Amino acid sequence: MMQEAYRILESVFGYTAFRSPQDEVIGAILEGKDAFVLMPTGGGKSLCFQIPALVRPGVGIVISPLIALMQDQVSAMCQAGVKAACMNSSMPPGHNYEVENQARRGELDLIYIAPERLALNQTIEWLGQCDVSLFAIDEAHCVSQWGHDFRSDYLQLSLLHERFPNVPRVALTATADAKTREEIISRLGLEQASVFVSGFDRPNIQYRITQKQNARQQLLSFINSEHASDAGVVYCLSRKKVDATAKWLSEQGIKAYPYHAGLSKDVRYQNQARFLKEESIVIVATIAFGMGIDKPDVRFVAHLDLPKNIEAYYQETGRAGRDGLPSTAWMVYGLEDVIKLKQMMAGSEANEQFKRIEQRKLDSMLGLAEITSCRRQTIMNYFGDDMPEPCGNCDNCLNPAKTWDGTEAARKALSCVYRTDQRFGVVHLISVLRGKLTEKITQFNHQNVSTFGIGSDLSESQWRSVYRQLVARGYLSVNFDYGQVYLADKCRALLRGDETIELRLDADKGKQKTASSGKAKFTPVKDEDIDLWEALRACRKRLADDQGVPPFVIFHDATLKEMIESKPDGLQAFSTLSGVGQKKLDKYGSEFLLVLAEY
């Protein structure tokens, strides 16, 4: 059976070798075993169930959480010559019934289905009349209440094991810490499953986190200087901020569209369709956008607000560079992010145990934002993946962060909190330290406290940096109702003089270089090949538009790049390119060879 799997890998999908551990996962499923697969975004999870579904008799059922993306996944399969279909509530009348009949007749290889539909009795009865080759539960972390994308519909999926005990199941996810993995396995009844955990590293993604000064201008500078004609995703915490940011970017000449749950279904679908099918589109979104996106040529993911945990950050940044080409994960982060997230967490109606776990995860995210060592090592370590050497492809590796002895400044900052009775926010505290006679200072007689004016040697932005790092490191806590800061137990040793502290040296506001300074705009090919690159992209876009599918469904950017590098001069040479299976060779080979011949 593995011999047939290798044949399908090459003839259908256009690859000559599996990435580890794809072959082991496929081997286990072909033997009828269950499997749990933890593999990074872009690591090739889909092949782990697509190929066994083609080798084993019957139809493979894929449970996918996002209806909007199913059709694109099906389109990609059909382009490769696979008989695939999807079933969901957005399909036209009669479509789902016809798919059921095709499955009964054995005419389909794969069916993508939403989890809520799978829980219906009529669906279970219909599946009982089919020859099912496997069940693939994609985005399996949705079953975990400790995870970042919990979906209650996924809790029903344990019924698959009860109703179809002899059909192998494979659960797949890109991000899950140890506790989330345990819960996925438990809730889906996969205790006897083979577990495959591949390395989490995405070496093509460059991680960069910088101090928030003027977030919009920093974002604009980053896009214009490095990704002016690229597809990207910008994440914001609130719907209001999504709308405002998308509108502002559009006014600056960037093709940006909003995406969040508050928009109508039609607008969300239209904006997502443009992102998938057009070039150079930027989507500004809440976390409602992203899970399961198949678009391989997203060149950057930007965060204008701090994510709640490292799993969310890794999942969202993982949307960049699925094709393996260089991409950027860029984020600006400030004190207001910390306060806002802590306020949201404290105001949650969750139980205390859940809040404690969420607080621990937020602390880990804050640690990632503040560290001066390799960011990738920290991310890998969080997921239990060892990386002995610094990566050389994050901001801290490329431009090592400077630090300074912040002990005296930290004591002044903490003392000021104490002298003003631990009742005020950072803006007021900084005014006291810098000796500004504001109306509020006069009202509370804070011009008479011992800390008034003792911090005039540092600028306002430098003091904000000090307070941000003290909150992030747990020396200060936040009053969640009004945003006041107060002393945490941890600060005692620092105030007594028993401890010193090294702080990150953030650039002063007004003197800060743009976050993208010194970085060259990403180009996938050499300057002399740009015209050919654009011609190949134009050919791909024309073919995609003719069929109403996204361009990447025809060929990925990586395949176009390989065309330029290898310059195939005939169909035989063209067939050796990665991603060129027999169906695509027959359908598109001649078209692209004509373009190559012109150049």
What is the reported pLDDT for 386? 83
Domain boundary among 370, 398, 426: 398
Task: Of 404, 409, 405, 373, give the one whose Cα is nearest residue 391.
Answer: 373
CA 40 to chain centre: 10
Distance CA 391, CA 329 (A): 14
Distance CA 476, CA 493 (A): 13
Q: Which domain holds residue 19?
A: 2-197
Residues 415 and 393 grouped into a single domain: no
Q: What is the pLDDT of residues 312-364, one digit of tens each?
A: 899 899 889 988 899 999 999 988 888 888 777 777 777 888 788 888 888 88
Task: Of 586, 581, 515, give the one whose Cα is nearest residue 13.
Answer: 581
Task: Of 82, 541, 49, 37, give the one whose Cα is nearest residue 297.
Answer: 541
Domain boundary among 398, 414, 434: 398
Residues 253 and 183 grouped into a single domain: no
| Contact (Cβ atoms closer than 8 angstroms) between residue 337 and residue 370 | no
Q: What is the CATH number of the domain that holds 560?
A: 1.10.150.80
Distance CA 432, CA 428 (A): 6
How many independent structural domains does the chain possess? 4
Residues 233 and 126 grouped into a single domain: no
Residues 122 and 193 grouped into a single domain: yes
Residues 253 and 361 grouped into a single domain: yes
Residues 308 and 339 grouped into a single domain: yes
What is the reported pLDDT for 300? 97
Domain boundary among 470, 504, 538: 504
Residues 429 and 566 grouped into a single domain: no
pLDDT by position in tens, the chain (length 599): 899 999 999 999 999 999 889 999 999 999 999 999 998 877 788 999 999 999 999 999 999 877 767 877 898 899 999 999 998 877 888 888 999 999 999 999 999 998 888 878 889 999 999 999 999 999 888 887 655 566 777 788 888 888 999 999 999 988 777 788 888 899 999 999 999 988 788 999 999 999 898 999 999 999 999 999 899 999 998 999 999 999 999 999 999 999 998 999 889 889 988 998 888 999 999 876 655 467 889 999 999 999 988 988 998 998 899 888 999 999 999 888 888 887 777 777 778 887 888 888 888 898 899 988 999 999 998 888 889 999 999 999 999 988 999 999 999 999 999 999 999 999 999 999 999 999 999 999 999 999 999 999 999 999 999 999 998 888 998 875 667 889 999 999 999 999 999 999 987 654 444 434 444 456 778 889 999 999 999 999 999 999 988 899 999 999 999 999 999 999 999 999 999 999 999 999 999 999 999 98
pTM of the model: 0.81
What is the reported pLDDT for 473? 86
Residues 298 and 184 grouped into a single domain: no
Beta bridge partners of 301: 233, 329
Residues 370 and 249 grouped into a single domain: yes
Residues 385 and 271 grouped into a single domain: yes
CA angle (222 as vertex; 217, 228 as ends), nearest 5: 115
| 515 in any annotated domain | no
What is the reported pLDDT for 395? 96
Beta bridge partners of 208: 330
| 519 in any annotated domain | no
Q: What is the CATH number of the domain that holds 124?
A: 3.40.50.300
What is the reported pLDDT for 199? 78
Residues 178 and 303 grouped into a single domain: no
Residues 362 and 231 grouped into a single domain: yes
